């Protein structure tokens, strides 16, 4: 039988089996498991059917806890049910997992294993999450490769039905979940043969059913709980054999035979490595290599980790083994070794003691940690571990893969060690921009090679944590044998290196990776005869030394001339095939064309023709450069950060920016996750092709451009013009308009050219238009490169000018408020981000006294992802203090901050009272009763606290020492709780609600993008009716939750709904009012997002249409007005003045439904239109109610 | 006694002269069926817009290319939800309408460029359209393009299309042709089987609060039809292609006037959107009732009897009545005192 090969990633492999074998699938997005849910949702939307001919029901829940609850209910009601998750998501499922296992309910949860948030969050892979679930009673079955994911998903499903023990089917996040591999498909027939309908019937028969009712979930007491807990033992005892039986049955069907504990290596091995997960693949590759050289090594792959079958595990070991190393991909701080090590050790000890072990004496057993957060495990590292086993006193509790100069746990390894496998496969590396299509072209190439040849293929993609200008590095391997290299392409290994953006020449040492005699392809606008001169000297030398063939193409020109704009993927893909010799050129070109036809054939002939043109013209424009004998470049790759940066930035941050973070030693990193703020200023990314240029003649100094700039790159400053005497010649400044500033002072609007992303929103908002020259404004986009150096100098000078005295500014006037320094700058958010202007505004108004609790999501990633972070500090060192706890607990986290601040302020006041005599009556009174509702008031209190500290130094009393530790709390703190709609509307709503009800002075900012943006646009309860989002492919059928109305129901909560692009002044007022309200406040901020499918250059228009259509009424509910006998609710936008259709027609997320589901699109539109009208009318009526007190003191109703 | 309401339009035998024009009503099989049940003699499908197809293509490309290289999200909108091409959806709807209805279905193409239209027209014919309506919706805003060039564009488009499809073709025209009669006869020579008078342009409006130009959609009103009636009257008997009246036909009286002026059929749109399918039945009943009381036995007999060709005073259709009408207008005195 011809085996059917398919090319897919681990997530899809798991999802395919899960979809076939289940009826109810409850999902919640979390990286890196989200794609499994997305696939299942997609297939369900396309009415694909499961094994029993029915379309599985997919439900998105409000959290993983909710998903687990729903699964528990579905299992108890007899449905075959599953979910997909990782990391914190798995932790949220733990309570239910105990229940599900306790009730012996068969299910398989598919886990893309990921690190847990500890000193920091990490989205990458390790086993910390799974290890935290090992006590739940779930079995744990590991897959090590994409092939195994598909195989083991099915084996797990068959085994759980038979043994009734629920299973976690685990594979490594990213390394396996996102690796694309060519694998042998598990056919539907195999699935059919593996799943016993008798067992399915038995599961259904156990369901809760009023026809024959039972009760489960009773409450048991000391008399029986213990015994009942022990009653499941036979099931756990039987489970390993059941799993093995399923593996055996699977082997009969497919020829792929797995064992619970798969031994690999020579029969008489003296040293054995034990591990689980993708690292086992690299270990196998290394064992092969070393054994071929005469070593006697073995590898034990642990597949079934729970129930742990100690006897079978030790029986799998060769009798000759004298030393064992157990590698754990997790850390159990404070433990006496990690879990797998401990389990193996006790298994061996028991086995030897009882005489059941194959060896008569206990081998030496050491344990170590590797691979946390997807840290590489290379053959060199595996070799080092085997090497350690040979030593007389091998290290126990070692680490491999890092340099631990602190606790000296790490083993050294040979970074240059390569296995034979690296020579058998062709390796190719591609450096691209996320947005240029490099990754999709490479995925496509893998498919082509997979389908057109017998070669095995592997693709792994290193993505960016930045959202704008994200860089991707694609690692592709092709070879005649299965590829087990679960590590990145190493130095001197790549046969082919492609640089898809010439700016990367300045950033990455990409030719370090090239092998001798390899090929280097560069996309450059430089003509072939000038391309050599654009390379840094080191690169030229590498090309000469390694004898690389050097090819160039101007892919942007070819793409543009073919009508493809900036999309260079097809061009570069064609070049790859043309010069990599993997496929005959003609065959490759045909295959690329077929792929284009398949992708675009149904979508438009022109698209196909454009791509064909690009393919055909690529070859004609591909040139080989004759490599000179001598490297003669006039420049070297510039240093990553300027020389004047702080030491920490030089020594740590700069290395991470340069992609050399792996080389940082343990002692260089903060132990408790504390990092300096304001580091984004050191990472100059030069993303913008064009930047705004200020026309000082036209400018009216309105302040709107700094207001809307998502990245804080355009700023205004008002200053004494005498300070500008030493300004660079091109630095622009003019007398400031308006009498609010000192006479004769100047204003400058300056752009940071290297931080601008070129989003154009400042130009869009600029109201100053040139009547003589239509289209020209006070800001106009100009090409960046020619002005980069000049504007860089101007920016530096601008920064050197003093900030205007905050005390003299009226914060409620945009022009004046925008003179203040943003303390949120240059984040990695998308160009044109709709969220960041709100954060920047808050940082300008309150940044120097702000504490931020930030829910996980976009804002925690662009706000807190290393290497550099945007929350900054001012010249006095003050600025927002920021932390991200989790996704689900952020409101509570922020409330905790408030409680601490309030408690300590109270303590400080008590201590002041106690020290009244020593400090002085007048000082104490002033400190206690300070007005801190204005900038002058806050300034004065800071002065008083500074003075207090001086006085305290002279007081020799314990109270004085205590007061010194809490004196800062006498200065007003502004506590902000920030997160997206996924947090506020869904996973964190319970906590948010509780905090709203707390009466405490916290400011909640909801950045409402109406989807889970960070994980890729999944539906939340903020998603409007009719919008297409992931998990709502047919348009969301229900209306958006009215969070403002819910918050208003508390009556003592300040509530605002804002959209700065529609009415900036209302946004400004709302922020000021919310912050000044001494109680809970919530601002729900409309934030256009790339997940809506529109170019964010139209961000403001989208906001405006949302407001004018009634989708997003602007409002403020201020409880203070009640005291004044005024209606607390003010509607700040007019009744809908355009149809809802005009709003939705403008946005892809809505209008794509008109084509996919026209009838429901019309129906949703009709309903939304009516809702928008009714909704507004309702608010209008509420805002019109009279709250005047009557003479009798009772409220007078209109 | 039942009167004979049959009419011949584009070579099609129709049971009566009421044909709903291109509107969202043909997007749903239910509303299309309701129109047939109410008595519609044929149905013009909603238009297949050239710019919509172009936008759809761009959107399809966008959805294919939405990755930004960010580690947590390979895409943002569900790619699988991406609809097929608008053309495919249109062809599918045409097939479904043909399956569902027994009356003729006329497909409508809206655009101006030659590119792709001939091919699309062919596909519509193959999918079973009984006729094609070319909706010539074009605002000639470019001062460098002459009237002749614009007319020639339509003629070329029509001739090309005529070369590849054998089903009848009708052209829906705007009133802004300087020599409409001449142009219509050219269309006839180029192979048009009919014309439809007149297309309504949706006019932009200015919102004085926001200082923005915003599109508006105003449905037609009864009485909006006199321009079409005049031209039907002028052309009837002078050209031999079929003629349809469109725009502002809300009552039986409106339809009868058009027929008397020379229309073979009258289209209905706003009246149906506003009042539902029952309005079609009401108009049909109105025409029957009027015909029963009239000296005529059949609809065929009344077509064009009051055209200029047959008019007692041909000048009524031309300029002469202009002066008379102006003079006859009574000034509202109270407004002027």
Task: Mark out the alpha helices in chain B (DSSP H runs).
Answer: 29-38, 50-64, 86-100, 117-126, 147-164, 180-189, 226-235, 252-261, 270-275, 278-293, 299-302, 320-328, 333-336
DSSP string of B131-194, one letter each residue: EEEEE-------TTS-HHHHHHHHHHHHHHHHHH--S-EEEEE-S--TTHHHHHHHHHHTT--E
- Cα distances (Å, whole numbers) of residue A931 to A813, A940, A942, A972: 22, 9, 12, 10
Q: How many CA atoms lie within 13 A of B118 on its CB side?
A: 13
Most distant CA pair in chain A, distance: 101
Say if residues B58 and A1089 touch (Cβ distance below 8 Å): no
Q: Does A599 touch chain B (CB under 8 A)?
A: yes
Whether residues A1015 and B70 touch (CB distance < 8 A) is answered with no
Whether residues B73 and A1016 touch (CB distance < 8 A) is answered with yes
- Cα distances (Å, whole numbers) of residue A451 to A7, A588, A611: 8, 11, 21
3-state secondary structure of A568: coil
Distance from C-alpha of A623 to C-alpha of A550, rounded to nearest angstrom = 9
Question: CA of B308 to nearest chain A CA: how many angstroms apart?
Answer: 43
Q: How many CA atoms lie within 13 A of A912 on its CB side?
A: 25
Tokens of A658: 């340069």
Report the pLDDT averaged over residues B50-79: 81
Nearest CB among A439, A1148, A1157 relative to B67 is that of: A439
Active site residue A31: yes
Which of the residues in chain A have pLDDT under 50?
1196-1198
Residues above pLDDT 90, as percent of chain B = 49
Question: CA of B64 to nearest chain A CA: how many angstroms apart?
Answer: 8
Say if residues A1084 and A858 touch (Cβ distance below 8 Å): no
Residues of B within an 8 Å Cβ radius of A: 24, 27-28, 53, 56-57, 59-86, 88-89, 116, 207, 209-210, 214-215
Cite the beta strand spans of A743-801 per DSSP E. 746-751, 779-783
ipTM reported for the complex, 2 dp: 0.88
Closest CA to A138 of A110, A113, A177: A110
Q: How many other C-beta atoms lie within 10 A of the C-beta of residue A1193? A: 6
Preceding peptide of A1073 cis, ω within 30°: no
Q: Check residue A1196 and give its pLDDT.
A: 46
3-state secondary structure of A488: coil
Distance from C-alpha of A884 to C-alpha of A873, rounded to nearest angstrom = 18
Question: pLDDT for B94-136, tens place per residue?
Answer: 999 999 999 999 999 887 666 667 888 888 999 999 999 998 7
Per annotation, catalytic residue among A96, A574, A1014, A1023? A1014
Token pair 């754990």 in the structure block, residue: A328
Question: pLDDT for B4-60, tens place per residue?
Answer: 999 999 999 999 999 999 888 898 899 999 999 999 999 999 988 877 787 777 777
Active site residue A865: no
Whether residues B74 and A603 touch (CB distance < 8 A) is answered with no
Question: CA of A367 to nearest chain B CA: how many angstroms apart?
Answer: 31
Tokens of A569: 């993927």
Closest CA to A703 of A570, A549, A812, A592: A812
Q: Which residues contact B9 (CB under 8 A, 6 or more apart)?
A: B17, B19, B42, B194, B242, B244, B264, B265
Burial degree of A14 (CB within 10 A; 0-12, 13-18, 19+) = buried
- Cα distances (Å, whole numbers) of residue A935 to A7, A809, A811, A876, A1076: 62, 9, 9, 15, 12
Question: CA of B78 to nearest chain A CA: how many angstroms apart?
Answer: 5
Say if residues A172 and A145 touch (Cβ distance below 8 Å): no
DSSP run (H or E) holding A1045: helix A1043-1048
Q: Which residues contact B277 (CB under 8 A, 6 or more apart)?
A: B31, B34, B35, B37, B38
Q: Does A566 touch chain B (CB under 8 A)?
A: no
The chain B residue lying nearest A470, using CA atoms, is: B69
- What is the C-alpha radius of gyration for chain A, rounded to an integer number of angstroms? 32
DSSP string of A1058-1083, one letter each residue: E-TTT-HHHHHHHHHHHHHSSS-EEE
Distance from C-alpha of A685 to C-alpha of A682, rounded to nearest angstrom = 9
Distance from C-alpha of A142 to C-alpha of A131, rounded to nearest angstrom = 12
Whether residues B78 and A604 touch (CB distance < 8 A) is answered with no
- Cα distances (Å, whole numbers) of residue A771 to A32, A211, A777, A918, B154: 53, 81, 9, 68, 39
Whether residues A606 and B57 touch (CB distance < 8 A) is answered with yes
Q: Which conformational region is residue B223 in: left (phi greater than 0), alpha (psi within -120 to 50 degrees), or beta?
A: left
Question: pLDDT for A916-930, tens place per residue?
Answer: 999 999 999 999 999
Whether residues A1152 and B63 touch (CB distance < 8 A) is answered with yes
3-state secondary structure of A60: strand
Per annotation, catalytic residue among A60, A64, A281, A935? A64
Cite the beta strand spans of A614-713 per DSSP E. 623-625, 690-694
- φ, ψ dihedrals at A264, nearest 5°: -135, 135
A:824-863 residues touching chain B, CB 8 A cutoff: 830, 861
Q: Check residue B215 and give its pLDDT.
A: 62
Average pLDDT across chain B, whole number: 86
Q: pTM (2 decimals)?
A: 0.90
Nearest CB among A602, A1033, A1134 relative to B85 is that of: A602
Say if residues A836 and A757 touch (Cβ distance below 8 Å): no
Q: Check residue A593 and give its pLDDT.
A: 92
Q: Does A815 touch chain B (CB under 8 A)?
A: no
Which long-range contacts does A1182-1186 make (Cβ < 8 Å, 24+ apart)?
Answer: A1182/A1127, A1182/A1129, A1183/A1115, A1183/A1127, A1183/A1129, A1183/A1130, A1183/A1131, A1184/A1127, A1185/A1127, A1186/A1127
Say if residues A1025 and A1171 touch (Cβ distance below 8 Å): yes
Question: CA of A1151 to nearest chain B CA: how many angstroms apart?
Answer: 10
- Cα dihedral sign for A353, A357, A361, A366? negative
Q: Check residue A1197 and give its pLDDT.
A: 43
Active site residue A1014: yes
3-state secondary structure of A460: strand
Question: pLDDT for B281-310, tens place per residue?
Answer: 999 999 999 999 998 989 999 998 888 877
B53 to chain A: which residues are within 8 Å by CB? 604
Burial degree of B34 (CB within 10 A; 0-12, 13-18, 19+) = middle
Token pair 């805003």 in the structure block, residue: B141
Q: Check residue B83 and give its pLDDT.
A: 61
B330 pLDDT more than 70: no
Dihedral in degrees, nearest 10, Cα atoms A142, A144, A147, A148: -20
3-state secondary structure of A438: helix
Task: Give B329's pLDDT tier (boundaries 50, 70, 90).
Answer: low
- Cα dihedral sign for A824, A829, A830, A831? positive
Say if residues A74 and A26 touch (Cβ distance below 8 Å): yes
Distance from C-alpha of A788 to C-alpha of A685, rounded to nearest angstrom = 12
Q: How many other C-beta atoms lie within 10 A of the C-beta of residue A570? A: 28
A1017 to chain B: which residues are within 8 Å by CB? 73, 75-78
Q: Check residue A818 and give its pLDDT.
A: 97
Per annotation, catalytic residue among A7, A22, A31, A820? A31
Q: Check residue A12 and give its pLDDT.
A: 98
Say if residues A797 and A729 touch (Cβ distance below 8 Å): no
Tokens of A823: 């303390």
Distance from C-alpha of B290 to C-alpha of A349, rounded to nearest angstrom = 106
Task: Give B331's pLDDT tier (boundaries 50, 70, 90).
Answer: low
> Do the bridges between strand B12-14 and strand B7-9 make them parallel or antiparallel, or are there none, so unpaired?
antiparallel
Distance from C-alpha of A359 to C-alpha of A356, rounded to nearest angstrom = 8
Q: Check residue B80 and give its pLDDT.
A: 64
Closest CA to B186 of B233, B239, B236, B139: B239
Nearest CB among B73, B80, B85 relative to A604 is that of: B85
- Cα dihedral sign for A521, A525, A531, A535? negative
3-state secondary structure of A494: strand
Residues in chain B: 337
Question: pLDDT for B222-236, tens place per residue?
Answer: 777 888 998 999 999
Q: How many other C-beta atoms lie within 10 A of the C-beta of residue A45? A: 18
Distance from C-alpha of B136 to C-alpha of B152, rounded to nearest angstrom = 12
């Amino acid at each position: 039988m011809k085996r059917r090969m398919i090319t897919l990633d681990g997530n899809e492999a798991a999802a395919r089996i899960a979809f076939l074998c289940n009826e109810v699938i409850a999902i919640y997005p979390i990286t890196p498991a989200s794609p499994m849910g997305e696939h299942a949702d997609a297939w369900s939307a396309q009415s694909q059917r499961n094994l029993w001919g029915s379309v599985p029901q997919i439900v998105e829940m409000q959290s993983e806890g909710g998903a687990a609850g729903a699964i528990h209910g579905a299992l108890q009601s007899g449905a075959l049910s599953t979910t997909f998750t990782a990391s914190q998501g798995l932790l949220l499922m733990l309570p239910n997992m105990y229940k599900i296992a306790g009730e012996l309910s068969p299910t398989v949860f598919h886990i893309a294993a990921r690190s847990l948030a500890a000193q920091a969050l990490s989205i990458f892979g390790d086993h910390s999450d799974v290890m935290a679930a090992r006590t739940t009673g779930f079995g744990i079955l590991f897959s090590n490769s994409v092939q195994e994911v598909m195989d083991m998903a099915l084996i797990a499903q068959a085994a759980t039905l038979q043994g009734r023990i629920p299973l976690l089917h685990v594979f490594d996040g990213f390394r396996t979940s996102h690796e694309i591999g060519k694998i042998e498909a598990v056919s539907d027939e195999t699935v059919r043969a593996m799943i016993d309908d008798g067992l399915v019937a038995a599961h259904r028969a156990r369901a809760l059913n009023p026809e024959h009712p039972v009760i489960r979930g009773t409450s048991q007491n000391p008399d029986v709980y213990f015994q009942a807990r022990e009653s499941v033992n036979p099931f756990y005892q039987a489970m390993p054999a059941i799993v093995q039986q399923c593996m055996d049955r699977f082997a009969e069907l497919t020829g792929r035979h797995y064992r619970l504990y798969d031994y690999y290596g020579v029969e008489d091995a003296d040293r054995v490595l034990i591990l689980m997960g993708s690292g086992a693949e690299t270990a196998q590759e290394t064992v092969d290599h070393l054994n071929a050289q005469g070593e006697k090594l073995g590898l034990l792959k642990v597949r079934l980790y729970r129930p742990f079958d100690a006897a079978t595990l030790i029986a799998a070991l060769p009798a000759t083994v004298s030393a064992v190393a157990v590698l754990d991909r997790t850390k159990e701080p404070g433990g006496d070794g990690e879990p797998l090590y401990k389990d193996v050790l006790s298994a061996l000890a028991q086995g030897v003691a009882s005489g059941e072990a194959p060896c008569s004496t206990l081998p030496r057993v050491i344990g170590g940690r590797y691979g946390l957060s997807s840290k590489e495990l290379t053959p060199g590292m595996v070799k080092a571990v085997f090497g350690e086993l040979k030593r007389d006193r091998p290290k126990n509790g070692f680490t491999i893969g890092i340099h631990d100069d602190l606790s000296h746990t790490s083993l050294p390894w040979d970074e240059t060690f390569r296995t034979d496998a690296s020579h058998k496969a062709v390796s190719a590396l591609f450096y691209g921009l996320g947005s240029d299509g490099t990754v999709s072209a490479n995925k496509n190439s893998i498919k082509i090679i997979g389908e057109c040849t017998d070669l095995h293929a592997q693709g792994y993609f290193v993505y960016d944590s930045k959202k704008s200008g994200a860089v991707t590095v694609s690692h592709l391997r092709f070879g005649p044998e299965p590829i087990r290299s679960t590590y990145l392409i190493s130095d001197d290994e790549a046969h082919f290196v492609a640089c898809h953006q010439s700016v990367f020449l300045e950033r990455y040492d990409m030719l370090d990776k090239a092998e001798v005699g390899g090929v280097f392809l560069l996309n450059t606008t430089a003509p072939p005869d000038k391309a050599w001169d654009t390379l840094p000297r080191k690169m030229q030398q590498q090309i000469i030394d390694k004898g690389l063939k050097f090819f160039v193409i101007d892919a942007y020109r070819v793409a543009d001339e073919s009508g493809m704009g900036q999309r260079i993927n097809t061009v570069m893909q064609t070049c790859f095939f043309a010069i990599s010799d993997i496929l005959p050129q003609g065959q490759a070109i045909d295959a690329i064309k077929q792929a284009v036809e398949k992708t675009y054939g149904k979508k438009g002939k022109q698209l196909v023709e454009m791509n064909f043109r690009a393919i055909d013209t690529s070859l004609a424009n591909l040139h080989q450069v004759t490599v000179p004998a001598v490297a003669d470049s006039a420049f070297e790759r510039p240093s990553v950060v300027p020389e004047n940066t702080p030491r920490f930035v030089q020594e740590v941050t700069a290395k991470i920016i340069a992609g050399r973070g792996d080389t940082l030693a343990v002692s260089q990193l903060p132990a408790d996750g504390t990092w300096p703020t304001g580091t984004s200023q050191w990472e100059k990314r030069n993303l913008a092709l064009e930047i705004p240029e200020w026309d000082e003649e036209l400018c009216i100094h309105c302040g709107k451009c700094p207001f809307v700039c998502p990245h804080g790159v355009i700023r205004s400053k008002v200053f004494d013009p005498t300070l500008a005497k030493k300004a660079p010649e091109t630095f622009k400044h003019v007398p400031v308009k308006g009498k609010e500033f000192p006479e004769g002072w100047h204003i400058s609007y300056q752009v940071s050219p290297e931080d601008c992303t070129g989003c154009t929103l400042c130009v869009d908002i600029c109201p100053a238009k040139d009547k003589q020259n239509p289209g020209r404004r006070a800001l106009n986009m100009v090409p960046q490169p020619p002005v980069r150096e000049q504007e860089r100098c101007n920016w530096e000078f601008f920064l050197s000018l003093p900030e205007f005295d905050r005390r003299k500014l009226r914060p409620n006037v945009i022009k004046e408020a925008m003179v203040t320094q943003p303390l949120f700058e240059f984040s990695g958010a998308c160009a044109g981000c709709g969220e960041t202007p709100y954060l920047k505004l808050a940082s300008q108004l309150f940044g120097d006294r702000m504490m931020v609790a930030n829910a996980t999501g976009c804002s925690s990633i662009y706000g807190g992802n290393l290497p550099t972070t945007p929350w900054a500090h001012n010249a006095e060192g003050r600025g927002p203090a920021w932390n991200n706890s989790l996704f689900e607990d952020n409101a509570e986290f922020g409330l905790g901050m408030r409680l601490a601040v309030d408690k300590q302020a109270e303590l400080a006041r008590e201590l002041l009272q106690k020290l009244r005599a020593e400090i002085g009556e007048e000082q104490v009174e002033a400190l206690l009763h300070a007005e801190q509702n204005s900038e002058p008031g806050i300034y004065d209190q800071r002065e008083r606290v500074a003075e207090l500290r001086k006085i305290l130094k002279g007081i020799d009393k314990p109270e004085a020492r205590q007061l010194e530790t809490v004196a800062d709390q006498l200065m007003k703190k502004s506590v902000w709780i920030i997160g997206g709609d996924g947090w506020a509307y869904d996973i964190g709503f319970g906590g948010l609600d509780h905090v709203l009800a707390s009466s405490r002075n916290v400011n909640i900012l909801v950045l409402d993008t109406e989807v889970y943006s960070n994980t890729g646009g999944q539906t939340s309860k903020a998603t409007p009716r009719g919008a297409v989002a992931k998990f709502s492919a047919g348009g969301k059928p229900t209306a958006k939750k009215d969070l403002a109305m819910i918050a208003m129901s508390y009556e003592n909560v300040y509530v605002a709904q804002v959209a700065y692009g529609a009415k900036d002044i209302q946004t400004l007022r709302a922020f000021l009012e919310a912050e000044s309200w001494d109680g809970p406040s919530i601002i729900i901020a409309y934030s256009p997002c790339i997940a809506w499918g529109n170019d964010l250059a139209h961000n403001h228009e989208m906001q405006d249409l949302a407001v004018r259509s009634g989708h997003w009424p602007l409002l403020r509910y201020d409880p203070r007005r009640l005291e004044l006998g005024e209606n607390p609710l003010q509607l700040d936008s007019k009744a809908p003045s355009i149809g809802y259709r005009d709003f939705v027609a403008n946005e892809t997320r809505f209008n794509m439904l008109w084509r996919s589901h026209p009838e429901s699109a019309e129906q949703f539109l009709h309903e939304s239109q009516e809702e928008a009208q009714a909704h507004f009318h309702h608010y209008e009526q509420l805002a019109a109610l009279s709250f005047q007190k009557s003479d009798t003191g009772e409220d007078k109703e209109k | 006694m039942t009167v004979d309401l049959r009419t011949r339009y584009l070579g099609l035998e129709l049971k009566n002269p009421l044909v709903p024009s291109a509107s969202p009503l043909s997007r749903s099989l239910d509303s299309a069926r309701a129109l047939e049940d109410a008595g519609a003699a044929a149905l013009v499908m909603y238009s297949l817009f050239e710019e919509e197809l172009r936008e759809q293509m761009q959107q399809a490309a966008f959805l294919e290319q939405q990755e930004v290289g960010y580690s947590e999200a390979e895409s943002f909108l569900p790619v699988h939800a991406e609809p097929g091409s608008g053309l495919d959806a249109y062809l599918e709807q045409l097939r479904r309408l043909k399956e569902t209805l027994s009356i003729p279905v006329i497909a409508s193409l809206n655009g101006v460029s030659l590119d792709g239209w001939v091919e699309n027209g062919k596909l519509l014919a193959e999918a079973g359209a009984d006729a094609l309506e070319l909706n010539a919706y074009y605002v000639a805003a470019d001062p460098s393009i002459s009237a002749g060039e614009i007319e020639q564009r339509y003629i070329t488009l029509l001739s090309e299309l005529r070369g590849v499809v054998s089903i009848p073709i009708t052209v829906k025209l705007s009133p802004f042709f300087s020599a409409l009669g001449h142009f219509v006869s050219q269309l006839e020579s180029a192979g048009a089987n009919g014309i439809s008078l007149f297309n309504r342009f949706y006019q932009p409006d200015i919102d004085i609060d926001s200082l923005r130009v915003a599109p508006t959609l105003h449905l037609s009103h009864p009485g909006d039809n006199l321009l079409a009636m005049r031209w039907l009257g002028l052309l009837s008997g002078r050209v031999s292609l079929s003629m349809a009246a469109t725009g502002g036909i809300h009552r039986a009286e409106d339809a009868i006037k058009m027929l008397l002026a020379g229309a073979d059929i009258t289209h209905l749109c706003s009246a149906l959107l506003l009042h539902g399918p029952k309005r079609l039945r009401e108009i049909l009943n109105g025409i029957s009732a009027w015909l029963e009381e009239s000296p005529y036995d059949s609809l065929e007999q009344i077509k064009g009897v009051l055209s200029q060709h047959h008019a007692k005073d041909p000048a009524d259709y031309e300029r002469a009545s202009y002066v008379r009408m102006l003079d006859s207008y009574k000034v509202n005195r109270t407004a002027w005192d």
